[in-house]
Amino acid sequence: MSAHTVWEKEFEELFKKNYSKLFYYALDWVEDSEVAKDIVSELFGDTWRRYERLRNERIEAYLYRSVHNLCINYLRDKQVEMKYQQEVIEKRENVIGGDVDTHEEQLQVIDEVMDSLGPQTRMIFEQCHFEGRKYQEVAEMLNISVSAVHKHMNKAFTMFRKAFELKNKNKG
């Protein structure tokens, strides 16, 4: 039996023994079953790619620490995303309540940012922000993970924030 085959059997046992526990551990943190599945699946994929090095470590401790860190990163990204989303909402409210010139300038910035987004990022942003779809719905519609939707939304919000910061800096 080759070393690779032995590792596959070890890894399969590791997966069977720990997947459910790690899933529920992640679920306690992120409170979204799809995100928890994505986190644990991503971790096991990464662990397999580095299994030769990791197999002689305290691997269960490594798995729990990694899930913990991935959950913290997800929550941190989600917090940033919510902040950016709030900024975009405030900009839209200001457009509605501002004067016509300011309104036109802000709409122009929004159009420029929308035009600069990649096709998938733009579609995801439009579906989530303008159509009001949940990230899970968009993920299923595009056959991608919820975390991929989050990444695209973060990218879009970052571009909006930078564009409005640049506009305000040039104006003031």
Nearest to 35 by CA among 17, 47, 23, 21: 23
Q: Hey, what amino acid is at 1?
A: M
Encode pLDDT of 153-172 as tens digits: 888 888 888 888 887 777 65
pLDDT of amino acid 104? 75
pLDDT of amino acid 28? 93
Encode pLDDT of 15-58 as tens digits: 999 999 999 999 999 988 999 999 999 999 989 888 888 777 78
Distance CA 47, CA 41 (A): 10
Same domain, 50 and 126: no
Same domain, 81 and 163: yes
Which residue segment(s) compose the domain that 118 sits in?
Answer: 76-171
Helical segments of 31-145, H only: 33-49, 51-54, 59-97, 100-116, 119-125, 135-142
Mean pLDDT taken over the chain: 84
Same domain, 86 and 61: no
Split into its structural domains, the chain has a count of: 2
pLDDT of amino acid 128? 84
Q: Among the three residues 55, 74, 93, which one is the final residue of a domain in this structure?
A: 74
DSSP reduced 3-state for 164: helix
